[in-house]
């Protein structure tokens, strides 16, 4: 079976790859931004759900695609969305003119298995509609946030993306499948104080390592979907923001009170490289890590 990070390369052999999450520690989905030349795309059968989002206007270009006897002819402008579920054999895909900055998000099947457990009935990415040109501000918002993370890595980007993957999958199931709405009572789920303390203690003890939403949910004895809601209710912020704040605090402590190199500080705070750490630190605090270290030691 083709992996999440390999499918885009197989499906779009002629398209230029602008950005990819392949080197990131993302779970649940992968994302790519590509520039597509005009012409035909030889379509393989998808092995995971694909959401496509045009990030730029295309000057009146159109995309035609056909599957299951259905022809879709969609004008391309910034914000145009396409969905292609697992197992759909597309007879043809034709791009009428060169396209730039098109993002493809591939969602793993594990996400939908978790939703099946939540609903107590089977749900799969193959249940989602094959549809184009939909007007869905939620999906656009998720897509744009993923593209921001793809362009500028943040301290808790992997956890943020995992949460976005689950939110997007739940939204797709509730709106674009026959599975119906997810139980609204999930919003009322709470986390016991002792379990919240256990989760926060684990975060503090493991702040230098990758911390997954799954691990925290298991510590709280909640499903991942319920945990994210309950944690935000209890702390006022979602898990990824809570951890991000702690990691920036840790970074400031290391910069001020240790001789660790900037590269080592970056890795200790969950960043994949010194350059992404520097950009995120400057966005957060208004100065570079080096500038912060010098001012802290005056």
As averages over each run of 10 residues, the pLDDT of the chain (298 residues) reads 68 92 88 95 79 92 84 94 88 92 92 78 84 94 96 88 91 79 52 93 86 87 81 86 86 92 87 81 87 86
* Class for the domain spanning 4-176: mainly beta
**What pLDDT sits at residue 186?**
43
Tell me which architecture the domain covering 242-296 has in CATH. Answer: Orthogonal Bundle (1.10)
The pLDDT value given to residue 16:
95
Helix/strand/coil (H, E, C) string of the chain?
CCCHHHHHHHHCCCCEEEEECCCCCCCCEEEEEEEECCEEECCCCCCCEEEEEECCCCCCCEEEEEECCEEEEEECCCCCEEEECCCCCEEEEEECCCEEEEEEEEECHHHHHHHHHHHCCCCCHHHCCCEECCCCHHHHHHHHHHHHHHHCCCCCHHHHHHHHHHHHHHHHHHHHCCCCCCCHHHHHCCCCHHHHHHHHHHHHHCCCCCCCHHHHHHHHCCCHHHHHHHHHHHHCCCHHHHHHHHHHHHHHHHHHHCCCCHHHHHHHCCCCCHHHHHHHHHHHHCCCHHHHHHHHCC
Q: What is the pLDDT of residue 216?
A: 92
The per-residue pLDDT for 98 is 95
Q: What is the pLDDT, as a whole number, of residue 238? A: 80
Residue 115 CA to residue 225 CA, distance in Å, equals: 8
pLDDT score, position 183: 47
pLDDT of the residue at 123 = 80
* Domain ranges across the chain: 4-176, 184-236, 242-296
Task: Indicate whether this model's pTM tops 0.75.
Answer: no
Residue 181 has a pLDDT of 46
User: What's the CA gap between 19 and 160, in Å, rounded?
Assistant: 18
pLDDT for the residue 182: 43
């Amino acid at each position: 079976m083709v992996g999440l990070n390999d499918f885009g390369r197989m499906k779009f052999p002629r398209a230029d790859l602008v950005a990819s999450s392949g080197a990131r520690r993302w779970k649940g989905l992968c994302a790519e931004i590509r520039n597509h030349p005009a012409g035909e795309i030889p379509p393989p059968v998808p092995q995971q759900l694909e959401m496509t989002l045009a990030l730029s206007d295309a000057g009146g270009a159109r995309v035609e695609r056909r599957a299951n006897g259905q022809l879709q002819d969609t004008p391309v402008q910034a914000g145009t969305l396409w969905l292609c579920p697992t197992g759909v054999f597309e007879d043809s895909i034709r791009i009428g003119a060169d396209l730039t900055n098109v993002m493809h998000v591939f969602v793993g099947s594990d996400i939908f298995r978790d939703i099946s457990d939540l609903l107590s009935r089977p749900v799969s990415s193959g249940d989602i509609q094959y549809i184009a040109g939909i007007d869905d501000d939620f999906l656009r918002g998720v897509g744009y946030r993923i593209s921001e993370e793809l362009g500028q890595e943040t301290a808790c980007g992997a956890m943020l993306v995992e949460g976005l993957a689950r939110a997007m999958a739940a939204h797709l199931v509730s709106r674009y499948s026959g599975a119906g709405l997810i139980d609204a009572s999930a919003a009322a789920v709470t986390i016991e104080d002792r379990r919240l303390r256990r989760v926060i203690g684990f975060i503090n003890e493991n702040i230098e390592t990758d911390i997954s939403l799954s691990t925290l949910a298991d510590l709280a004895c909640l499903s991942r979907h319920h945990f994210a809601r309950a944690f935000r209710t209890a702390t006022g912020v979602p898990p990824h923001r809570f951890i991000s704040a702690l990691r920036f605090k840790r970074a400031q402590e290391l910069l001020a009170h240790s001789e660790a190199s900037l590269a080592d500080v970056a890795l200790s705070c969950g960043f994949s490289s010194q350059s992404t750490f520097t950009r995120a630190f400057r966005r957060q605090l208004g100065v570079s890590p080096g500038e912060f270290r010098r001012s802290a030691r005056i």
